[in-house]
Chains A and B, each alone.
Chain A
Amino acid sequence: MPSQHDELHKLRALQRVADVALAYLPLDQLLNELLERIAEILGTDTAAFLLLDESGEWLVATAAKGIEEEVEQGVRIPVGGGFAGRIAAERRAIFIEDVDHADILNPILREKRIRSMLGVPLFVADVVIGVLHVGTLTPRMFDSADADLLQLAADRAATAIERARSFHQRGVVEMLQRSLVPEELPSVPGLELAARYRPAVRRGGIGGDWYDAFTLGRGAIALVVGDVMGHGIGAAAMMAQMRTGLRAYALDGHPPAGVVDRLNRLLLTLGQHEMTTLSYAVVDLERERATLVSAGHLPPIMRGPAGETVVLAVEGGPPLGVSVAATFPEATFEFPAGSVLLLATDGAVEVRGEGVEAGLERLRALVEVSDDLSDLCLNIAEGAVRGTAADDDVAVLGARLELLPDTLRTTWPATADTLPTMRPLLRRWLGRWGAAEDEIYDIIVSVQEAAANAVEHAYAPGDATYEVIGSCENGQICFQIRDRGSWREPRGTHRGRGISMMRALMESVDVTQDEEGTRVELRRTLGREAA
C-alpha cells in the first residue's frame, strides 16, 4: 500500500513534468529542463533524449544529463541495436537491472559505469520519434510507476519536439519557397501569368515541386512545372539544381526538346536517383503557339478562346534520370489570343486509390469554368480538384494570352529595357491588322525610335514613364508616343539617325512639343509600297 506521503510525492512529480510553463521554453531548454526534473524525481544519475534522424534508421543523442559527452560526441545508435535501439524498434519501455551484462552499444554508458537503466519510446501519433532513458551508478530496481512517470515526460517532450519541428519546418519551407520559386513572375505585355506553390507540411519533410517562368527573347516565354520525387531538403536541393540547369540550357538557345534532353543527362551525371518529371512549354507570343515537352509529367490543360478545354496530348518521354537513351519529342499547339495554358504537378489531382485520369478530368473541368487565372491557380493549390488539401506538395502555373484591343494603350517605364519587351506586343498587334512582315518591321523600328527618344529625354531616371498608343483607321496605322520630357535633337557624330529613319519608314511623322511634354505621331497605310 503506498503511503499518503508517497501519493502526494507522485502527484507533485507529475505536476513538475506536466508544468505548463515548460511549453514556453525553446526546445533545447525544454529538453534539458525535463531531464533535470526527471533525474531529480526518479533519483537517477543520468538522463538522455535520443531522437530519430531523417533516415529513420539512427537515434542521435540530442540532450543529456550526467552523460553530456553523448551529445558532444554526437552518439548515434542504430534502431534495433543496443539499449536505446531496442526501445525504438520494440516500441516499449525496457528496464535493464545490470548494464554490464546487457547488450550496450554506447561506450560512454560503459565508461560511466552505469549499472541500471530504464528507457521509454517517444511517440507522435503512434510513430516512434526517439527514446528517453535514465540510468543509475548503483544497482536499482525501477518499478512500473517509475516507467509511467518516465513515459509521461517522454510524451511531454514528444509533443514539444513535434511542435518545434513543424514550426522549424515551416520556416525552412518558407525560406526555400522564397529562394527557389521566382520572386515574381516576369512581366510580359499581353501575357497574364499566375502561379502557386503549396508545400506539403508533414513529417518527412517538404517536397520537390517547383515552377518557373522566364523570358527567352524575341517574344518567347519559358514556362516550367516540375516535380523531383521524394521529400525533404534533399529533394528541394535537387529541385534547385534542376531549375538552374533548365534555365541555363534554355537561355543558351536550345530548343525545348534539347533543353529537356540535356537536363536528363545532367541529372544522370549528378549520380542522384531522385526521379524528376516536368512539363516545359515555350510560348511564342507573336505566332500564338506553344511548344511543349513532357518528361513523364501530368499533361498540360489548354482552354481555348471560346472556353473549350482539353487535356493536351503531349506524347513526351519518360521521367528524367531514368535512362540516358530517353528521347523527349516536342509537340506544338496553336495558342490563340484568349487561350489559357495550365501546367501542374500531380499533387494537384492525385487522390489515393483513384486513377490519375479521373483527377485530370476534374482539373480539366475546373479550368473550363474558371475565368480568373489567379483564383484558378490558388484553388488548384488549395486542393479544389481533389476535394481536400493535398497531402503532397503542389505547384501550378498558368498563362493566358490576352486578346489585344483595337486601340492599344500602353504605359512604359522610361528605360531602354522596355524596347525589346515591347516588340513582341507590337508585332502581335500589327499582325492582327494584317500588316505584312516588312510593314511590321518598319513600323516597329519607327515606334521604337520615338520610344528610345522618350527614354533618353525623360525627366529623371526614376519613375518617369512614356505612353505608346496604337490605333488603326481605314487601313492606316497610327502610333502616338508621348512623354513628359522635351525633345532635343541628339548630339554627337553618330546620333540622330532615328528621326531620319522614322521619316523614311513612315508616311508621316509629326512631333508636337508643349509644356506637357513631347508627342510623336507616326502614320503608315498598310498594303502600300514603302517610301
Chain B
Amino acid sequence: MSELARVDVEWHGDFPVAVVTGEIDASNVAEVGAAVRGLVTNQSSVLVVDLTPTTYLDSAGINLMFSLGDELRSRQLSLRLVIAPDSSIARMLKITGLDKTYPTFPTVEAAL
C-alpha cells in the first residue's frame, strides 16, 4: 500500500478492529477497501473500523464505509465505526449521514 494510508488489525478477543491510519481518497480507496475487507470473517459478528488515526476522508472513503456496511449486513454482520468526536472526520460523517446509518463510538473499547 502507498505511504498515504495503512490498515492494521487489532484483535480484541474474537473481534477484529481495522485501524486505518493516514488519508483515504480516490487514489487509494480501493487498496484500503481491500485491506479492510480482508479482515471480515464469519467468526465474528462485528467488524470495528477505527477511524481515529485517519487524518483525511473524502466522499471516496465515505462511500467505502457505506458499501462495507451493506456487504456486512448482507452477511448478517455489523459495522461499527470509531470516530474521534469533534474531529473533521466526524464532521464528514455527519454531513453525509453515515453516523446515522451505522453506530459510531468515541473509542474502540466503547465499540466492543
Residue positions of A touching B, CB distance < 8 A: 215-218, 251, 253, 416-417, 419-420, 423, 437-438, 441-442, 444-445, 448-449, 452, 455-456, 493-495, 497-498, 500-501, 504-505, 530
Judge whether B44 is part of the interface by a CB distance below 8 angstroms: no
Scoring A216, A444, A452, A505 by chain B CB atoms within 10 A of each residue's CB, the highest score goes to A452
Please measure, in the bound complex, the distance between the C-alpha atom of A497 and the C-alpha atom of B101, giving whole angstroms: 14
- 19 A-B pairs within 8 Å (CB atoms) are namely A217-B2, A217-B23, A218-B22, A218-B55, A416-B27, A420-B23, A420-B28, A441-B91, A442-B88, A445-B59, A448-B58, A452-B26, A494-B63, A494-B66, A495-B63, A498-B58, A501-B58, A501-B62, A504-B95
Distance (whole angstroms) from the CB of B23 to the closest CB of chain A: 6
Distance (whole angstroms) from the CB of A367 to the closest CB of chain B: 30
- Residue among A217, A456, A505 making CB contact with B22, cutoff 8 Å: A217
The answer to whether A500 and B56 touch (CB under 8 A), given A419-B25, A438-B91, A441-B88, is no
- Residue among B27, B56, B96 making CB contact with A417, cutoff 8 Å: B27
B56 lies within 8 A of A423 (CB): yes
Please measure, in the bound complex, the distance between the C-alpha atom of A441 and the C-alpha atom of B91, giving whole angstroms: 10
A420 lies within 8 A of B27 (CB): yes
Scoring A445, A449, A495, A530 by chain B CB atoms within 10 A of each residue's CB, the highest score goes to A445
Judge whether B60 is part of the interface by a CB distance below 8 angstroms: yes
Residues in B with CB closer than 8 Å to A501 are 58-59, 62, 92, 95-96
Judge whether B4 is part of the interface by a CB distance below 8 angstroms: yes
Judge whether B109 is part of the interface by a CB distance below 8 angstroms: no
Please measure, in the bound complex, the distance between the C-alpha atom of A251 and the C-alpha atom of B55, giving whole angstroms: 17
- Residue among A218, A251, A438, A497 making CB contact with B62, cutoff 8 Å: A497
Query: Can you name the residue of chain A whose Cβ is closest to the Cβ of B66?
Result: A494
Distance (whole angstroms) from the CB of B68 to the closest CB of chain A: 9
- Residue among B4, B27, B70, B88 making CB contact with A493, cutoff 8 Å: B70
Query: Can you name the residue of chain A whose Cβ is closest to the Cβ of B24?
Result: A420
Please measure, in the bound complex, the distance between the C-alpha atom of A455 and the C-alpha atom of B88, giving whole angstroms: 24
Residues in B with CB closer than 8 Å to A423 are 23, 56
Please measure, in the bound complex, the distance between the C-alpha atom of A495 and the C-alpha atom of B66, giving whole angstroms: 10
Residues in B with CB closer than 8 Å to A494 are 63-64, 66-67, 70
Scoring B2, B67, B95 by chain A CB atoms within 10 A of each residue's CB, the highest score goes to B95
Distance (whole angstroms) from the CB of A414 to the closest CB of chain B: 12
Top-5 shortest CB links A-B: A416-B27, A504-B95, A498-B59, A217-B3, A494-B63
Query: Can you name the residue of chain A whose Cβ is closest to the Cβ of B30?
Result: A416
Please measure, in the bound complex, the distance between the C-alpha atom of A456 and the C-alpha atom of B63, giving whole angstroms: 15
Please measure, in the bound complex, the distance between the C-alpha atom of A417 and the C-alpha atom of B28, giving whole angstroms: 8
B4 lies within 8 A of A420 (CB): yes
Residues in A with CB closer than 8 Å to B63 are 494-495, 497
A448 lies within 8 A of B25 (CB): yes
| Chain B interface size, under 10 / 10 to 19 / 20 to 34 / 35 or more | 20 to 34
Distance (whole angstroms) from the CB of A424 to the closest CB of chain B: 11
Residues in A with CB closer than 8 Å to B66 are 493-494
- Residue among B3, B56, B64, B95 making CB contact with A505, cutoff 8 Å: B95
Distance (whole angstroms) from the CB of B41 to the closest CB of chain A: 23
Residues in B with CB closer than 8 Å to A452 are 25-26, 58-60
Please measure, in the bound complex, the distance between the C-alpha atom of A504 and the C-alpha atom of B95, giving whole angstroms: 7
- Residue among B22, B55, B58 making CB contact with A449, cutoff 8 Å: B58
Query: Can you name the residue of chain B whose Cβ is closest to the Cβ of A250?
Result: B3
User: Other than the known A420-B23, A442-B91, A449-B58, what 8 A-B pairs have Cβ atoms closer than 8 Å?
Assistant: A216-B3, A251-B3, A416-B27, A420-B28, A445-B58, A452-B59, A493-B66, A497-B96
Please measure, in the bound complex, the distance between the C-alpha atom of A166 and the C-alpha atom of B23, giving whole angstroms: 50
Residues in B with CB closer than 8 Å to A498 are 58-59
Query: Can you name the residue of chain A whose Cβ is closest to the Cβ of B98?
Result: A497
Query: Can you name the residue of chain A whose Cβ is closest to the Cβ of B65?
Result: A494
A497 lies within 8 A of B59 (CB): yes
Please measure, in the bound complex, the distance between the C-alpha atom of A494 and the C-alpha atom of B70, giving whole angstroms: 10
Please measure, in the bound complex, the distance between the C-alpha atom of A417 and the C-alpha atom of B62, giving whole angstroms: 18
Please measure, in the bound complex, the distance between the C-alpha atom of A144 and the C-alpha atom of B66, giving whole angstroms: 95
Residues in B with CB closer than 8 Å to A445 are 58-59, 92
Q: Kindly identify, within residues 46 to 63 of chain B, every residue whose CB is under 8 Å from any CB belonging to chain A.
A: 55-56, 58-60, 62-63
Please measure, in the bound complex, the distance between the C-alpha atom of A505 and the C-alpha atom of B88, giving whole angstroms: 11
Please measure, in the bound complex, the distance between the C-alpha atom of A399 and the C-alpha atom of B63, giving whole angstroms: 38
A218 lies within 8 A of B23 (CB): yes
- Residue among A441, A455, A493, A530 making CB contact with B67, cutoff 8 Å: A493
- Residue among B26, B62, B96 making CB contact with A416, cutoff 8 Å: B26
Distance (whole angstroms) from the CB of A404 to the closest CB of chain B: 20
Query: Can you name the residue of chain B whose Cβ is closest to the Cβ of A417?
Result: B27
Query: Can you name the residue of chain B whose Cβ is closest to the Cβ of A251?
Result: B3
Please measure, in the bound complex, the distance between the C-alpha atom of A205 and the C-alpha atom of B3, giving whole angstroms: 37
Q: Kindly identify, within residues 1 to 52 of chain B, every residue whose CB is under 8 Å from any CB belonging to chain A.
A: 2-4, 6, 22-23, 25-28
Please measure, in the bound complex, the distance between the C-alpha atom of A497 and the C-alpha atom of B88, giving whole angstroms: 17
Please measure, in the bound complex, the distance between the C-alpha atom of A505 and the C-alpha atom of B27, giving whole angstroms: 22
Scoring A497, A498, A504, A505 by chain B CB atoms within 10 A of each residue's CB, the highest score goes to A497
Please measure, in the bound complex, the distance between the C-alpha atom of A448 and the C-alpha atom of B25, giving whole angstroms: 9
Scoring B25, B26, B70, B91 by chain A CB atoms within 10 A of each residue's CB, the highest score goes to B26
Please measure, in the bound complex, the distance between the C-alpha atom of A7 and the C-alpha atom of B102, giving whole angstroms: 106
Distance (whole angstroms) from the CB of A7 to the closest CB of chain B: 78
Distance (whole angstroms) from the CB of B6 to the closest CB of chain A: 8
Distance (whole angstroms) from the CB of A115 to the closest CB of chain B: 72
Distance (whole angstroms) from the CB of A456 to the closest CB of chain B: 8
Residues in B with CB closer than 8 Å to A500 are 95-96
Residues in B with CB closer than 8 Å to A493 are 66-67, 70
Residues in A with CB closer than 8 Å to B23 are 217-218, 420, 423
Residues in B with CB closer than 8 Å to A444 are 56
Please measure, in the bound complex, the distance between the C-alpha atom of A495 and the C-alpha atom of B28, giving whole angstroms: 16
